[in-house]
Chain A
Amino acid sequence: MILECRGLNKTFISKKAVIDFNLNITEGKIYGLLGENGSGKTTWMKMVAGLTKPTSGDIIFKGHIWNYQDKGTIAYMSTEPFFYDFMTIASVGKYYQDFFDDFDMQKYLKLIDRIGLNENMKVKALSTGMTAKLKVAVTMARKATLYLLDEPLNGIDYKSREEIISIILEEAADNNSFVISTHLIEEIESFVDEAIFVKNGEILLQTDLEKERAENGKSIKDIYLEIM
């Protein structure tokens, strides 16, 4: 087990964002985190990524209580663009290389080239789609144990989505896990092992998709429409 959340809660002053999350993430699997905006997906990811602390409950990472050093093997990609204005694509790579031992500069440069970006481009001048691709590239150039991708296909044109999905699938292995949050359910349907449905801060269902298809003849969309 890579990650275990027990009774996880996050309460902001105005609202309960995450309510009693109990959740296991296992090695070698890809998880789809599904739910409307504001359902608690992002808050949960940020807690595991260390960008916000739970109000109560435990996050157990690889058998120990989560601590900040675990960020060294957790690769989190947020929805919002977050690079510094003064950066170029090359210096974004340099930044990751400076701070993450699991970052592979060679791989980063290859990915950049593959998605049609150029080292000398300024981050500030990138279009929404380009920034989205850059975020995926720099995150996937890490050899992390847990990847948390918050809306990785957002803002990416239809043609590039295939490429982005390939990049993700190439990195997926027996010893790592992916949690991908998205509202483009059909895009991830074929390669997600388990879907986690979240609504109003609560987990409604965590289920194996092949099993759902084999036993109940249900697609991810069927389940979504049924329970959400």
Chain B
Amino acid sequence: MGKIIKYEWRKQRTSRLIILFGLLIGLITFAINERIAFAVSIILMLCGLLVIFYTGIESLLVFNKDLRTKQSHMLWMLPKSVWEILGGKFLAAILQMLFVFAAFTASGFACLTIAIAQSGRLKLLMQFIKNSARALLNADVDWKMLVQFMMLCFLSWTLIIMIGFLAIIISRTLFLNSKFSGLFSVILFFVINYIVERGCFFISKVFNVSALDLHPFILVYYAVVCAVLFGISGILADKKLSV
């Protein structure tokens, strides 16, 4: 599995390099020109949103390309089960996400440091760190909420990936290599997504909780749906998909 992840990770190297390069340019502009620093940081943030969105679905694009170009032979000819292949793809996607988050967080801190250093008030920086640390230690933050929220984010994203995998596999099974396949998987993606959301709506009614409430039921529901989708994807890929 580790080796599968290694090569999946390698497939997304170009985007990592582009992201890092972009961030570096941003940081340099930020550092050398105080006047446009504010504008730069806004642009960085906007780009950040775009990049995170793209990174979120990049593994789906890679998977679709694998199947379209027959590079999928590289994975399917290996003495590995389909679970390892799909699992490897998913884990590589998580790693990529973590990498991008880490890169953005690091550049955020770098911006902050530069800003404070430039205004010559190192004290302020120390103060800021101290304050943040205190705030965290004093548990001013609702930890439970935060964890739940992060889990929800992770699950929602996992759900996107799982729906995407399934949509691509169904589409490539039905249409093999026709041009229509890519478009159909996008349509299928939204259809499955709609069904899952209806399910969520239904569950929240049954248990009488608000979907916006971050109720544990919702989390469990998403987790179960992800697992089920992954299961269906795996079985379909194993039994029906021709790569």
Determine whether A and B are in direct contact in the complex, meaning some CB atoms lie less than 8 angstroms apart.
yes
A158 interface residue (CB < 8 Å to B): no
- The CA-CA distance from A157 to B14 in the complex, in Å, is 35
Contact A80 B70 (CB under 8 A): yes
Contact B80 A51 (CB under 8 A): no
Residue of B3, B6, B71 contacting most chain A CB atoms (<10 Å): B71
Residue of B74, B81, B82 contacting most chain A CB atoms (<10 Å): B74
Q: Given A46-B242, A84-B71, A99-B3, 19 other A-B contacts at CB below 8 A?
A: A13-B174, A51-B73, A51-B77, A51-B242, A51-B243, A53-B240, A68-B80, A68-B82, A76-B77, A80-B70, A80-B73, A81-B70, A82-B70, A83-B74, A84-B7, A85-B71, A86-B14, A99-B79, A100-B79
- The CA-CA distance from A85 to B239 in the complex, in Å, is 28
CB closest residue in chain A, given B76: A51
Contact A53 B79 (CB under 8 A): no
A-B contact pairs, 7 of them (CB 8 A): A46-B242, A69-B79, A71-B79, A71-B80, A84-B10, A86-B10, A86-B14
Contact A98 B240 (CB under 8 A): no
Contact B76 A50 (CB under 8 A): yes
Q: Mark A182-194, 1 if CB is under 8 A from B, else 0.
A: 0000000000000
Q: Mark A92-117, 1 if CB is under 8 A from B, else 0.
A: 00010011100000000000000000
User: How far in angstroms is the closest Cβ of chain A from B6?
Assistant: 8
How many residues on chain B are close to A (CB under 8 Å)?
28
Contact B176 A70 (CB under 8 A): no
User: Cβ of B14: which chain A residues have Cβ within 8 Å of it?
Assistant: 86
User: How far in angstroms is the closest Cβ of chain B from A117?
Assistant: 19
User: How far in angstroms is the closest Cβ of chain A from B225?
Assistant: 26
User: Cβ of B78: which chain A residues have Cβ within 8 Å of it?
Assistant: 71, 99-100
User: How far in angstroms is the closest Cβ of chain A from B191?
Assistant: 19
CB closest residue in chain B, given A49: B77
B11 interface residue (CB < 8 Å to A): yes
- The CA-CA distance from A83 to B73 in the complex, in Å, is 8
- The CA-CA distance from A69 to B79 in the complex, in Å, is 5
Contact B77 A71 (CB under 8 A): yes
- Across the A-B interface, how many residue pairs have beta carbons closer than 8 Å? 63
User: Cβ of A51: which chain B residues have Cβ within 8 Å of it?
Assistant: 73, 76-77, 242-243
User: Cβ of B205: which chain A residues have Cβ within 8 Å of it?
Assistant: none
Q: Mark B1-17, 1 if CB is under 8 A from A, else 0.
A: 00100110011011000
CB closest residue in chain A, given B173: A13
Find B11's partner among A69, A71, A82, A86 (CB 8 Å cutoff).
A86
Find B77's partner among A13, A50, A81, A84 (CB 8 Å cutoff).
A50
- The CA-CA distance from A80 to B174 in the complex, in Å, is 21
B238 interface residue (CB < 8 Å to A): yes
User: Cβ of B13: which chain A residues have Cβ within 8 Å of it?
Assistant: 86
B241 interface residue (CB < 8 Å to A): yes
- 4 closest A-B pairs by CB: A72-B79, A52-B242, A82-B73, A71-B79
CB closest residue in chain A, given B82: A68
Contact B71 A83 (CB under 8 A): yes
User: Cβ of A72: which chain B residues have Cβ within 8 Å of it?
Assistant: 79
Find A95's partner among B74, B174, B242 (CB 8 Å cutoff).
B74
Contact A95 B7 (CB under 8 A): yes
Given contacts A13-B174, A76-B77, contact A82 B71 (CB under 8 A): yes
CB closest residue in chain A, given B84: A68
Find B74's partner among A69, A70, A84 (CB 8 Å cutoff).
A84
User: Cβ of B71: which chain A residues have Cβ within 8 Å of it?
Assistant: 82-85
Contact B77 A52 (CB under 8 A): no
A78 interface residue (CB < 8 Å to B): yes
- The CA-CA distance from A76 to B243 in the complex, in Å, is 13
Q: Mark B37-76, 1 if CB is under 8 A from A, else 0.
A: 0000000000000000000000000000000011111101
